[in-house]
Structures are given as C-alpha cells and as structure tokens.
A and B are shown apart, each in its own frame.
Chain A
Amino acid sequence: MAKTDDMIERLVGELKPVPATALQRLLVCAMLPGLVLSAAFIFFLHGPRPDLTAAMATPAFWVKSVYPLILALVGISGLMVVARPGGLPRGTCIGWLAIYLALVTSGLWQLGTASDARYPLLIFGRSWWICPIIIMASALPVFVANFWFLRRAAPTHIRLAGFVAGLTAGAVGAWTYSWGCMETGLPFVAIWYTLGIVLCGVAGALCARPLLRW
C-alpha cells in the first residue's frame, strides 16, 4: 500500500492545470502539421492539376473536393468521440454513409446525363489504379498525426478508434489530392476515392491493437 501512497504523492506533485478545451487543442496541434505535410506532398511532389483555374469553374471539381472534406470534418467530430473512454461515434458512421449515398446519387445522375461513350472516362478515368495509392500516400502524415493524438487520449473501443482515425486521415488525404487529380467523373470519385479512404480506415483498424493499447 505504501507504493500507492508514494505514487499518489508523485502524481499530485506533477499536477498541472488542464483547460476545458485541451483535448480539442491537442487534436488541432496533431492534425495541422499532418495536413500541411499532406498538402506539401500533393502540391510539390505530385503537383497541382495543370488546369486548376479552369477546373475550379466546374461543379465536378467542387463535388470531388467537398466530398472528402465533409467526410474529414465528420471524421474529426468522430475522433473527438472515440478519444474519450466509452465513446461510440454512431452519428459519425451514419453521417459518413449519408455523405456517400449523396455522392453515389450525384454520380448516377451524372452517368444518366452522359452518353454511353463517356462511361469509361467517368468510371475509370485515366488514373483509377493509382488514385487509391496516392490518396493513401497523402493520408500518411495525417494518419500518423491521428494516432499520435489517440495515443494521448483514452479510446476504449480500440479497433473502432483506429478505423475512425484511419478513415479521417484518408479523407484529408483525398481532399488534398482533389487539388492534384485530373478526373472529372463523380462515379470515379465514388469508387476510387472511397476505396483509398476506406483502405486507410482498414489500415487504421489493423494498426489499432499494437499502437493504441493502454
């Protein structure tokens, strides 16, 4: 019992005030460098799309960019939930599904208005096989940031926390990639972007046991 007394004294000695928004601040401190690195990867290593100014006038560009951005924002709110003991982010999962369904609907609408000859371009584009890989690469810094954050938090549903962290990182990576990617098809985004994002989520769930145990 004496050991516990000593430990309590030591912990009391180490006590520092914790502001009410400390957890939010920690997440911001983690994600900002991750986001900057991810953006640097796309803008300097991959390069922004050459026709960026022209593309910014098209709705397809904005749908492609806003889709992962909203996924990421919903994911960040989910991260705040899984970071606390017992946190189950039901709203986050429902939100993600709703966003995905909205994208699928607009993708189907785009296919409906296009001629059959454009289908391969809208679905596979020119970069379907590399797109998920680039998304995972540009998600990596954010992935590390999210795990750095969760290791300082107290997730109790560990696999789920890893999945949320990974998927959110994937969404941020896809968002930065949307500034470099030339594709115009919404079905392309619904399939290949989502594949890259979900693979990040799966990687997160797989890394969770070794990295997030406490």
Chain B
Amino acid sequence: MKQLTEPELKALMLLSLDGDEKAYRCLLNMLRHLLASYYTRRIGQRGSADIEDLVQDTLMALHQRRITYDRERPFTAWFFTIARHKLVDHHRRSGGRSYLDLEAIADVADDYSEDAVSASMDVNRLLESLPAWQVEMIRNVRLEGRSVAETAASSGRTEAVVKISVFRGIKTMAARMRGERGED
C-alpha cells in the first residue's frame, strides 16, 4: 500500500472535518495501517491482540476528539501525539515492568514528530530553489552521507568543485531562510 504523506493525510482530515464520508473512510483506513506498524515497532509482535485494541482505541479517540485538531497545524503531529498518549496509557495499565519502556519510548526517534515533519518539508522546499545539479550534490554529500570523492566521480566534476558547490548551495539556503524569517 502507498504510504500517504503529511499534505495528503491533512487534506483528507480537512475533508473529513467538513463531513466528507469517503475521505474519512479513506483516512481511517490509511491511519489504521500506519498505527499498526507504529505500535508493532514499539510493542513487538508478541502483543498482537493489544495492537488491534490500541489501533481501535486510537481511531476512536481521533473520532471523539477530532474537535481538538487545529486546522493550521500539521495533522500527523496531532495524530501521533494521540497515538503516543494511547501507548503510554497502555504501558501504564499493563503494569510496572513497562515503566522502564516508557523511557525508551521517549527516546525513539519519531518519524512523525512535528519538528521532524516540518524540518524535512523545510529542507525540501529550500532545495527546490537551487539548480538541480547543486541539489544533487548537497543530497549526496550532506543528506545521504556519501564522500566528496564519490560524488565528484559520479557527477564528473572535480572534488574542489563539489566542495564549493555544496558550500555555496548551503549558504544560499541559509540566506533564504534568514530572509523568510525576517519577513515574518
């Protein structure tokens, strides 16, 4: 199944809030699978009955408390805060042994935390403003962690050109970001 991204899920949520049943059914079905993998990653396969309960509980909470979704803010951040709340509650109910896990939950790098979602959106938006070849180099060197030598070889440019392009590209992005902040 195709994983929907923040803008698509948010669009479905906004339609659902306006009473669109088709969008709501689609949203709930998408979220159900996202939740199943979210909870499986954190509880493990051993608790598969718990996982279905948690999924239902969370979808029910979304339904009953959808009034608390702020249309101006990212949907996934809102939704996964609810999911995490349900997970913490689950651990609390299932007894003391899980209190140790609570620490771990807080540390799990969350793909859907609001900061992570909006940060990657920001980076992608900033990258769009640069020429394609420069974006390619920045992606290789800074985001994917390849070496300057590899990148130079694959793009057919010298290492010095790669280094300077990456450096200048990031400077341009930083300048744009300062500009955008300044406008606010």
Contacts and interface: CB of A to CB of B under 8 A. Distances in A.
- Genuine A/B complex: yes
A4 B67 contact: no
A59 interface: no
Contacts of A8: 25, 28-29, 32, 59
Interface string B63-91: 10111111100000110011011000100
Interface in A111-166: 152-154, 156
A1 B85 contact: no
A156 B81 contact: yes
Interface string A19-32: 01011001000000
Nearest to A23: B67
B32 A4 contact: yes
Interface stretch (B11-19, B38-46, B134-142): B11-19
A90 to B, nearest CB: 16
B17 A17 contact: yes
A181 interface: no
Interface in B1-60: 16-19, 21, 24-25, 28-29, 32, 52, 55-56, 59-60
Among B21, B29, B68, B69, residue most surrounded by chain A Cβ atoms (within 10 Å): B68
Interface residues of A, number: 27
A20 B82 contact: no
Nearest to B70: A84
B167 to A, nearest CB: 37
A54 B56 CA distance: 61
A12 B29 CA distance: 11
A17 B70 CA distance: 14
Contacts of A26: 67
Interface string A178-189: 000000000000
Contacts, number: 76
B65 A154 contact: yes
A46 interface: no
A152 B117 CA distance: 28
A26 B68 CA distance: 10
Contacts of B68: 23, 83-85, 153-154
A84 B25 CA distance: 23
Interface string B155-174: 00000000000000000000
Contacts of A12: 21, 24-25, 28
A20 B55 contact: no
A15 B28 CA distance: 12
B19 A214 contact: no
Nearest to A25: B67
A22 B24 CA distance: 18
A137 B85 CA distance: 33
Contacts of A15: 16, 19, 21, 24
A22 B29 CA distance: 25
A9 B29 CA distance: 10
A134 B77 CA distance: 42
Given A85-B82, A153-B68, A16 B52 contact: no
A85 B78 contact: yes
Contacts of A1: 52
Given A3-B56, A8-B25, A12-B21, 6 more contacts: A15-B19, A84-B78, A85-B82, A152-B65, A156-B82, A213-B89
6 contacts: A3-B52, A8-B32, A11-B63, A18-B67, A85-B68, A153-B65
Closest 10 CB pairs of A and B: A17-B19, A85-B81, A154-B65, A86-B81, A154-B68, A8-B28, A156-B85, A11-B63, A22-B67, A18-B17
